Chain A
Amino acid sequence: MRISPSSLLSLLALLALAGLTGCANKKGQQYAGVDGDYVNGTPLAGNAAGDRVDGANFLGANVQRGQYAPVQFAYDSFSVAPDQDSKVSAVASALQGSGKTVIVAGFTDDRGTEEYNRSLGEKRALSVREALIAKGLKPANIQTVSFGKEMPVDSGEDESAWAKNRRAEFGIVK
């Protein structure tokens, strides 16, 4: 079969259109369409050298923890489910315009392996961070940390305990 230049052009145009609408649909999920590359999300803010600005320790005395309900996650998932949205909104509206920094700490249940759970916990913290940014908080005011399967809130070995442990907690820097 021989493809005429005009039909090739219209095919390209169609593909381009499909690509454009694809981008538009996925914009909210931070997809980008350049060479299969992916824009991961909003980079975390550091100092001039790109390093972290130290001082706020999620587990330290200068961070207020437990003030806001943690966001829960499904098994092996890092997306913020619709029924968790109000928890993110509560933090976003409380901090809006305050200039305060929030640390989002990601945790997993204990069923995965150690290092994989650290990356999954970070992914959860970053998902919540994107949700906070979407609700108007400044990216520079949201830091993340992952503790993986450390520090479970419930040490039980059943679905109810695991569900509680799959979470992202909020710590407000005083």
Chain B
Amino acid sequence: MMIHHTRFFLIFLLLISFIALPLQATDAPTITIRKSDALNVAFTGIGGSEGAAIAEIVQHDLKLAGWFALVQPGLASFSVSGVTAGGVLQGKVTKGGETMLSKSYTGSSRAVAHQFVDDIVQTLTGHKGIASSTIAFVSNRTGRKEICMADYDGANGRQITHDNGLSVSPSLSPNGRRLAYTGYQSGYADIYVIDLTTGSRVRLVKFPGTNSGPRFSPDGNSLACSISKDGNPELYVVGLGGGARRLTRTRGAESSPTWSPSGSEIIYSCDENGAPQLYRIGAGGGSGQRVTTGYGYCTEPSWSPDGQRLAFNVRSGGGFAVAVMDLGSGSARIVAQGENPVWGADSRHLIYSTGSTITLLDVPSGKSTPVVSGLGKVTEPTWSR
């Protein structure tokens, strides 16, 4: 008997070592970026008559990008500079004597500065930048709820809808050229799509019942949304050219879909088992599989463009908090107090609503910057990629 016990114990040890080793091995990759991980960049300004205005925007963008520590030239690994002449910005990034980036940009001061910084981010980190992106959100500044837009840093704020009613739940297409939202002009909730280039608008989804919460697919050609015409709010995918495909069949209410980067899957919220929880389903349909988050109330998920993380609302005290979950490990943590987080193109920043502000959060560093304020209650942000 003793021999048996020993043998079992040895086998047990052997098993443990097999289990423990891979765990240690997979423990290494971490998403935490420490200050020392930031790239040391010296920004030596922009020459030329329009240089000062552009330099200010470049500097702000470089700070908000999160990847860089702005340092004196002597301490820097990279040097960023530029010169303007005849409405053209010539931007340059060097490393020692080597030129990493040299490109000319035309357009408004803000546009050329943003494009330059996005190219710097792409060149030095390999990631897509957020500087040229736009955001949209709901504002009740007029006493009604209207959709407004702004640059990612809150500049260029403008009101898009003038429906004088309820216009809510906006979604920007990934390229930022279309805006879908839920509008109540008919007295019911319908889904409208605005072509931001031409200004034309169509009422795309107008089934009986409530049609709400449109979210653009990564290719920008369809919308996932919630439609109740069958007698229950269900998840649908609607093509911009027409056609509606039902994805779910449950007793609960489906809402707030978010697409995987490839567009093959959707994560959404459903309350069929009591408090709302997150589920995952193929974009062609099937049965929704529960996404275990560790939180009891989860709504309005946003899937990061790199596919690795999910941000969503959780209930926290009397209000709501923003949680971020690593989809690989399943570990989740609260990163901010607020609602409706949305990932930016860099899969590093979130924007979310605090009620009075739309705030930009650099998730690795925890640094938050209010970008929209003073427009009444601002809610339900969306972000182009």
Chain A residues engaging chain B, CB cutoff 8 angstroms: 30-31, 36-38, 40-46, 50-54, 56-60, 63, 76, 78, 103, 112-116, 118-123, 125-126, 129-130, 143-147, 150
Question: Does residue B340 face the partner (Cβ distance < 8 Å to A)?
Answer: yes
Question: Does residue B276 face the partner (Cβ distance < 8 Å to A)?
Answer: yes
Evaluate whether A113 and B207 lie within 8 angstroms (CB atoms) in the complex, with A40-B230, A145-B187, A150-B166 already known: no
Chain B residues closer than 8 Å to A63, beta-carbon distance: 187
Complex Cα distance, B188 from A46, in Å, reads: 13
Smallest CB separation, B235 vs chain A (Å)? 10
In-complex Cβ contact of A115 among B207, B213, B230 (8 A): B213
Pick from A58, A60, A118, A146 the residue with the most CB of B within 10 Å.
Answer: A118
Chain A residues closer than 8 Å to B379, beta-carbon distance: 114
Number of A-B pairs, beta carbon distance below 8 Å: 154
A43 touches B250 (CB 8 A): no
Determine the residue in chain A with the shortest Cβ distance to B339.
Answer: A113
Interface size class of B (residues with CB under 8 A): 35 or more
A40 touches B271 (CB 8 A): no
A-binding segment of B105-113, B253-261, B326-334: B253-261
Complex Cα distance, B234 from A91, in Å, reads: 27
Chain B residues closer than 8 Å to A144, beta-carbon distance: 208-210, 228
B232 touches A58 (CB 8 A): no
Question: Does residue B347 face the partner (Cβ distance < 8 Å to A)?
Answer: no
A145 touches B189 (CB 8 A): yes
Determine the residue in chain A with the shortest Cβ distance to B165.
Answer: A59
Smallest CB separation, B149 vs chain A (Å)? 18
Evaluate whether A58 and B233 lie within 8 angstroms (CB atoms) in the complex, with A44-B209, A46-B208 already known: no
A44 touches B206 (CB 8 A): no
In-complex Cβ contact of B232 among A40, A57, A59 (8 A): A40
B340 touches A76 (CB 8 A): no
Chain A residues closer than 8 Å to B188, beta-carbon distance: 52, 57-58, 143, 145
Chain B residues engaging chain A, CB cutoff 8 angstroms: 145, 166, 168-169, 182, 184, 186-190, 206-210, 212-213, 226, 228-234, 249-256, 269, 271, 274-276, 287, 299-300, 313, 320, 339-340, 379-380
- 22 of the cross-chain contacts (CB-CB < 8 Å) are A40-B234, A40-B251, A44-B207, A45-B208, A50-B207, A52-B186, A76-B275, A103-B187, A114-B339, A114-B380, A115-B212, A115-B256, A118-B168, A118-B189, A118-B213, A120-B253, A122-B226, A122-B233, A129-B231, A144-B210, A145-B210, A147-B184
Chain A residues closer than 8 Å to B271, beta-carbon distance: 76, 116, 119-120, 123
Determine the residue in chain B with the shortest Cβ distance to A122.
Answer: B210
Smallest CB separation, A134 vs chain B (Å)? 13
Complex Cα distance, B255 from A146, in Å, reads: 13
B255 touches A115 (CB 8 A): yes
Smallest CB separation, A62 vs chain B (Å)? 9
Determine the residue in chain A with the shortest Cβ distance to B166.
Answer: A150
B253 touches A143 (CB 8 A): no
Complex Cα distance, B256 from A107, in Å, reads: 18
B299 touches A112 (CB 8 A): yes
Complex Cα distance, B228 from A45, in Å, reads: 11
B299 touches A116 (CB 8 A): yes
B232 touches A126 (CB 8 A): yes
B249 touches A122 (CB 8 A): no
In-complex Cβ contact of A41 among B189, B231, B275 (8 A): B231
Q: A46-B207, A144-B210 are in contact. List 17 more A-B contacts (CB 8 A).
A: A30-B231, A40-B230, A44-B228, A45-B208, A51-B207, A113-B340, A115-B300, A116-B256, A116-B300, A118-B169, A118-B189, A118-B226, A120-B253, A126-B231, A126-B232, A143-B188, A145-B184
Evaluate whether A57 and B187 lie within 8 angstroms (CB atoms) in the complex, with A76-B274, A116-B255, A118-B255 already known: yes
Smallest CB separation, A105 vs chain B (Å)? 9
A123 touches B169 (CB 8 A): no
Chain B residues closer than 8 Å to A120, beta-carbon distance: 253, 271
Smallest CB separation, A120 vs chain B (Å)? 6
Chain A residues closer than 8 Å to B339, beta-carbon distance: 113-114
Complex Cα distance, B186 from A53, in Å, reads: 10
Smallest CB separation, B176 vs chain A (Å)? 21
Chain B residues closer than 8 Å to A129, beta-carbon distance: 231
- The 4 closest A-B CB pairs, nearest first, are A57-B187, A41-B231, A40-B232, A44-B208
